[in-house]
């Protein structure tokens, strides 16, 4: 196919095939019809017709998170392009590798307010790693190569390519480069041996250490090295919501998730530590709480691929710039060569304090309630799936319950919008994961408000026979909004009660799926087993839960990790 003259549309599709793209999530429109015609004439890439462009990007996102490969989406110009922005921003905040191709009006019409014209490059600029407007068909192939290179190297992220219609109709020789070099972009970094030495010295001096790992460990494929490093040191480890699964949640060294809704032991250990080793984490506000109160006694080591993240929010004592596996391996080698094993250090007193914090049982809830508790549903989901499912979540209370009660022992099994907090993410992300892993259990944990943001994708699921299991925790409220209004706004529930809900069982059935409504705690396990026994169909499980249940523990705005609200029944920390 190389060195053959062809239409720009065919060049684009052949370039995607050269990048080993399996699935192209998209929605057609006028200016991309030549591209869709080129898709029709080939069989290497499967196009997935979504029902909304936002879902195309979320599905590509779910594919990327669950595989580590870049997700790819294709949409038309104007509203097609603008509908992708929420999905692009979601991926950008969480550093997910994606390539989004938007159609554009004819080059000669750009700037003339042509039909379905929008400045996709300008609109997307704040929420992409990079973007391109291709005006020369001869540069189309190399631009696609650059886009994939930028999206997948360094700190990953979404890259947008805007392609005018005339570029898809013009002829050029197809030559796809094997490699690409960009003078303005060189993400290769060299590990600083002196900083490695300083980090090892500080690690060996620690009396109250904590390892704080984030999503960058998973994105950077550093899970193996993180586990080896953590077990070599015998240090406690806590993980951000985005980092869940990088270190086994069931391991005795794991303190669980930290931050606003983290465990008591994780947050108290962070507050009391003397050496903090941050790995692939960005110190975001939901993790740190009040910055002035964050880890007040700690010396901070920060390992990250992105120099802009180091000392951005929290002052770092020893920066370690590089890929997670490479830097961790250097630390492991240095610790082994030092002859002074940190794992042999006496951390008995520190672990004793941590065990005291653990004894608080901060995740306890009323197990004797006549109403279904959301925590119970997630616990039983974990048991029924044996912790092996891919879990995509929407955003809200159900997201936090899933992060707290589903024990992730493997990476890339937890797919959730962390940075942007995007309602509607769950179902299309689950679609992307199900395409990537057709023989695995894929679950969407959602709420009655979030699911309606992209509920039209039930149609896509039917078209492609995706056997996703939807676990909807239905409390009739915008749950997290209601919780904040209860705690901080005098129980003035302004616009957080969701009225006029559909019959979700009938709605699921109208799309051709299986619908179930569960209203009693005694029916939860049976419903889950019945739902997961149906292997070839989507099952929509509507769990009617206690509408008053809140997510605890909680670190309120302006508070430190040691100022947690544990629950109404337990005193605040």
Q: What is the pLDDT of residues 75-132, one digit of tens each?
A: 999 999 999 999 999 999 999 999 999 999 999 999 999 999 999 999 999 999 999 9
Nearest in space to 306 (alpha carbons), one of 515, 92, 101, 140: 92
The reported pLDDT for the residue numbered 341 is 56
Residues 6 or more apart whose CB falls under 8 angstroms from that of 238 comprise 210, 211, 212, 213, 254, 255, 256, 257, 258, 262, 263, 266, 269, 270
Q: Among 108, 139, 174, give the residue marking a domain's end.
A: 174
CATH of residue 283's domain is 3.40.50.1220
The tokens for 113 are 């307010």
Q: Does residue 399 share a domain with residue 346?
A: no
The reported pLDDT for the residue numbered 558 is 85
To 5 degrees, how large is the angle CA 246–CA 348–CA 214?
20
Residues of the domain holding 333? 193-358
Q: Does residue 529 share a domain with residue 383?
A: yes
pTM: 0.96
Assess if residue 130 is contained within a domain: yes
Confidence at 433, pLDDT banded by 50, 70, 90: very high
Q: Among 140, 174, 208, give the residue marking a domain's end.
A: 174
The tokens for 17 are 């095939």
The reported pLDDT for the residue numbered 188 is 76
Q: Among 174, 207, 227, give the residue marking a domain's end.
A: 174
Q: Does residue 105 share a domain with residue 236?
A: no
Q: Exactly one of 19, 53, 326, 379 is catalytic; name it.
A: 53
The reported pLDDT for the residue numbered 557 is 84
The reported pLDDT for the residue numbered 569 is 65
The total domain count for the chain is 3
Nearest in space to 304 (alpha carbons), one of 284, 334, 286: 284
Mean pLDDT in residue range 280-301? 92
Q: How far is CA 309 from CA 221, 304, 315, in A?
A: 19, 7, 11
Assess if residue 187 is contained within a domain: no
Confidence at 3, pLDDT banded by 50, 70, 90: confident
The reported pLDDT for the residue numbered 390 is 98
Q: What is the pLDDT of residues 7-66, one digit of tens each?
A: 999 999 999 999 999 999 999 999 999 999 999 999 999 999 999 999 999 999 999 999
Q: What is the pLDDT of residues 188-205, one digit of tens each?
A: 788 999 999 999 999 999
Q: Exactly one of 241, 270, 431, 480 is catalytic; name it.
A: 480
Assess if residue 552 is contained within a domain: no
- Over 70: is that where the pLDDT of 340 sits? no
Assess if residue 519 is contained within a domain: yes
The reported pLDDT for the residue numbered 103 is 98
Q: Exactly one of 1, 4, 42, 115 is catalytic; name it.
A: 115
Assess if residue 559 is contained within a domain: no
* 256, β-bridge pairs: none
CATH of residue 111's domain is 3.40.50.970
- Over 70: is that where the pLDDT of 352 sits? yes
Q: Exactly one of 6, 22, 69, 116 is catalytic; name it.
A: 116
Assess if residue 180 is contained within a domain: no
Q: Does residue 162 share a domain with residue 79?
A: yes
CB atoms within 10 A of CB 82: 17
Q: Does residue 379 share a domain with residue 354?
A: no
Give the neighbor-by-neighbor strand order of the sheet with 514-518.
Answer: 414-415, 390-393, 442-447, 469-474, 539-544, 514-518
Q: Does residue 205 share a domain with residue 337?
A: yes
Confidence at 571, pLDDT banded by 50, 70, 90: low
Mean pLDDT in residue range 285-302? 92
Quick check: 469 and 539 in contact, CB under 8 A? yes
The reported pLDDT for the residue numbered 272 is 96
Q: Does residue 381 share a domain with residue 469?
A: yes
Q: How far is CA 397 from CA 261, 479, 499, in A?
A: 10, 6, 18
Q: Is 480 one of the catalytic residues? A: yes
Mean pLDDT in residue range 312-336? 96
Mean pLDDT in residue range 363-376? 96
Q: Is 53 one of the catalytic residues? A: yes
Assess if residue 572 is contained within a domain: no
Q: Does residue 384 share a domain with residue 330?
A: no
The tokens for 109 are 């019409």
Q: Is 6 one of the catalytic residues? A: no
Q: How far is CA 21 from CA 46, 63, 436, 515, in A?
A: 9, 11, 11, 34
For residue 281, give the H/E element and its range.
Answer: none
Q: Does residue 401 share a domain with residue 315?
A: no
Assess if residue 365 is contained within a domain: no
Mean pLDDT in residue range 517-542? 98
Backbone angles phi, psi at 135, to 5 degrees: -110, -10
Q: Exactly one of 129, 145, 146, 165 is catalytic; name it.
A: 165
- Over 60: is that where the pLDDT of 573 sits? no
Q: How far is CA 379 from CA 365, 384, 395, 403, 404, in A?
A: 12, 9, 18, 11, 9
The reported pLDDT for the residue numbered 570 is 63
Nearest in space to 317 (alpha carbons), one of 289, 276, 354: 276
The tokens for 571 are 């005193």
Q: Does residue 338 share a domain with residue 214?
A: yes
- Over 80: is that where the pLDDT of 154 sits? yes
Q: Does residue 275 share a domain with residue 152?
A: no
Q: Does residue 322 share a domain with residue 257?
A: yes
To 5 degrees, how large is the angle CA 278–CA 402–CA 552?
80
Q: How many residues does the chain have?
A: 573
């Amino acid at each position: 196919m190389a060195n053959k003259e062809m239409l720009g549309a065919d060049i684009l599709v052949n370039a995607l095939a050269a990048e080993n793209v399996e699935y192209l999530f998209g929605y057609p429109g006028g200016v991309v019809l030549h591209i869709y015609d080129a898709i029709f004439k080939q069989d290497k890439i499967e196009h997935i017709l979504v029902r909304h462009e936002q879902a195309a990007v979320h599905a590509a996102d779910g594919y990327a998170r669950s595989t580590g490969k870049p997700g790819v989406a294709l949409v038309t110009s104007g509203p097609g392009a603008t509908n992708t922005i929420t999905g692009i921003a979601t991926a950008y905040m969480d550093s997910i590798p994606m390539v989004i191709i938007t159609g554009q009006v004819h080059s000669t019409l750009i700037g003339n307010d042509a039909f379905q014209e929008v400045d996709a490059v300008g609109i997307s600029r704040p929420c992409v790693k990079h973007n391109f407007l291709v005006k020369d068909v001869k540069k189309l192939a190399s631009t696609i190569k650059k886009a994939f290179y930028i999206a997948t190297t360094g700190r990953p992220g979404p890259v947008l390519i805007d392609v005018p219609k005339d570029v898809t109709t013009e002829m050029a020789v197809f030559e796809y480069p094997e490699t690409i070099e960009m003078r303005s972009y060189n993400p290769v970094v060299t590990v600083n041996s002196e900083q490695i030495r300083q980090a090892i010295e500080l690690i060996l001096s620690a009396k109250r250490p904590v390892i704080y790992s984030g999503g960058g460990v998973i994105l950077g494929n550093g899970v193996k090295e993180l586990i080896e490093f953590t077990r070599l040191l015998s240090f406690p480890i806590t993980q951000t919501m985005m980092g869940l699964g990088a270190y086994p949640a069931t391991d005795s060294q794991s303190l669980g998730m930290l931050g606003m809704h983290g465990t008591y032991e994780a947050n108290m250990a962070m507050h009391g530590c003397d050496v903090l080793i941050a790995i692939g984490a960005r110190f975001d506000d939901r993790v740190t709480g009040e910055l002035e109160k964050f880890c007040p006694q700690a010396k901070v080591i920060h390992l990250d691929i992105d120099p802009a993240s180091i000392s951005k929010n929290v002052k770092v004592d020893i920066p370690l710039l590089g890929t997670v596996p490479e830097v961790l391996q250097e630390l492991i080698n240095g610790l082994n060569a030092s002859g002074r094993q940190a794992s042999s250090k006496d951390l008995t007193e520190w672990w004793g304090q941590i065990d005291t914090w653990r004894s608080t049982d901060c995740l306890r809830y009323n197990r004797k309630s006549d109403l279904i508790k959301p925590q119970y549903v997630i616990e039983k989901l974990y048991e029924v799936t044996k912790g092996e499912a891919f879990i995509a979540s929407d955003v809200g209370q159900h997201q936090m319950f899933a992060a707290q009660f589903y024990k992730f022992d493997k990476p890339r099994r937890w797919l959730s919008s962390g940075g942007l907090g995007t309602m509607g993410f769950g179902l299309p992300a689950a679609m992307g994961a199900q395409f990537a892993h057709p023989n695995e259990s894929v679950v969407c944990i959602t709420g009655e408000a979030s699911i309606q943001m992209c509920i039209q994708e039930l149609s896509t699921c039917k078209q492609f026979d995706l056997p996703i299991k939807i676990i909807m925790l239905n409390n009739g409220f915008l749950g997290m909004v209601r919780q904040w209004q209860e705690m901080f706004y005098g129980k003035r529930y302004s616009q957080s009660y969701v009225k006029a809900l559909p019959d979700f069982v009938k709605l699921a059935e109208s799309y051709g799926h299986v619908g179930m409504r569960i209203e009693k705690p005694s029916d939860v396990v049976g419903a889950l087993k019945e739902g997961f026994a149906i292997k070839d169909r989507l099952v929509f499980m509507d769990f009617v839960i206690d509408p008053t249940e809140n997510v605890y523990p909680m670190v309120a705005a302006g508070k430190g990790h040691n100022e947690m609200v544990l629950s109404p029944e337990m005193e605040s920390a």
